[in-house]
Amino acid sequence: MNCGHIIIERQSLSQFIVIFSSPSSELCSALPTVLVLASGRGARFTASGGTTHKLQALLGGQTVLERTLAAVQASGLPWHLEQQGLAGMGDSIAAAVAATAGAAGWLVLPADLPLVRSETLLEVARALARHPVVVPVFEGQRGHPVGFDARCGPDLRNLKGNRGGAQVIAAWGAIELIVNDAGVCFDIDTVSDLARAQVVWDGSRSTPEKR
């Protein structure tokens, strides 16, 4: 399943040119769009000793953002990168949904989840065909991407502040989707998080490819 051709060119550690051609298949119009949220300031990372923005930190030779985008691209789902530098996660979701108004639904994925698997994105997308809101859960812990179908669009466009989509999740009665993917909960907030992610990444390189 492939919705158009995606090219990511890194101009520098902080600038990406993303080219996403229009899907050529009608199938793509029925697929949810992955919203990669990359607007956060990453203050906790720098406060913990980081010398760069957390999304620009290296993990296995690529930046955290590149790792997350690679998983999204591998899923074959259409996607949108939101990096306007908006104040809160709610504002970022609202802007990204407004920019993809024709989507059949959305998978909200913070950009600091570089270990999430492409297969998990597809699991959430499939579940979203049967439920208005889908939340992945790994070992009892809720994570991302959270899936919202098109009916949630008006509520998502009205979000503001730092609570993200919590109020929309509550209003629509989300179902929990059990997944075998620790990456849904493994966000990079501090330097120690990055070090732990590197250990996990190195370990995954010694086993058959899972992404």
pLDDT tens readout for residues 21-71: 334 444 456 899 999 999 888 889 989 988 899 999 999 999 999 999 999
Backbone angles phi, psi at 110, to 5 degrees: -60, 140
Q: What residues contact 29, with CB distance under 8 A and at least 6 apart?
A: 23, 102, 104
DSSP string, 127-184: HHTT-SEEEEEETTEE-SPEEEEGGGHHHHHT--SSSTTHHHHHHHTPEEEE-S-GGG
What's the pLDDT score for residue 39?
Answer: 87
Please give the helix or strand (H or E) that residue 98 lies within, else none. Answer: helix 89-99
Distances (CA, A) of 188 to 4, 21, 60, 63, 138: 30, 30, 14, 12, 17
Beta strands 79-82 and 62-63 are unpaired
And the tokens for 82? Answer: 């939101």
pLDDT tens readout for residues 86-120: 878 999 999 999 999 999 999 999 999 999 999 99
Q: Is the pLDDT of residue 4 over 90?
A: no
Q: Is the pLDDT of residue 207 over 90?
A: no
What's the pLDDT score for residue 30?
Answer: 84
**What CA–CA distance (Å, rounded) separates 166 from 91?**
13
118, 131 in Cβ contact below 8 A? Answer: no
What's the pLDDT score for residue 29?
Answer: 60
pTM as predicted: 0.84
For residue 211, name the pLDDT band (cuts at 50, 70, 90). very low
pLDDT tens readout for residues 121-157: 999 999 999 999 999 999 999 999 999 999 999 999 9
Determine the number of helices (DSSP H) and then strands (DSSP E) in the chain. Answer: 7, 11
Please state whether the peptide bond connecting residue 23 to the residue before it is cis, i.e. omega within 30 degrees of 0: no
Q: Which of 147, 115, 109, 110 is CA-nearest to residue 129?
A: 147
Using left for φ > 0, alpha for ψ between -120 and 50, and beta otherwise, residue 85 falls in left
And the tokens for 150? Answer: 């098109």
Backbone angles phi, psi at 112, to 5 degrees: -95, 30
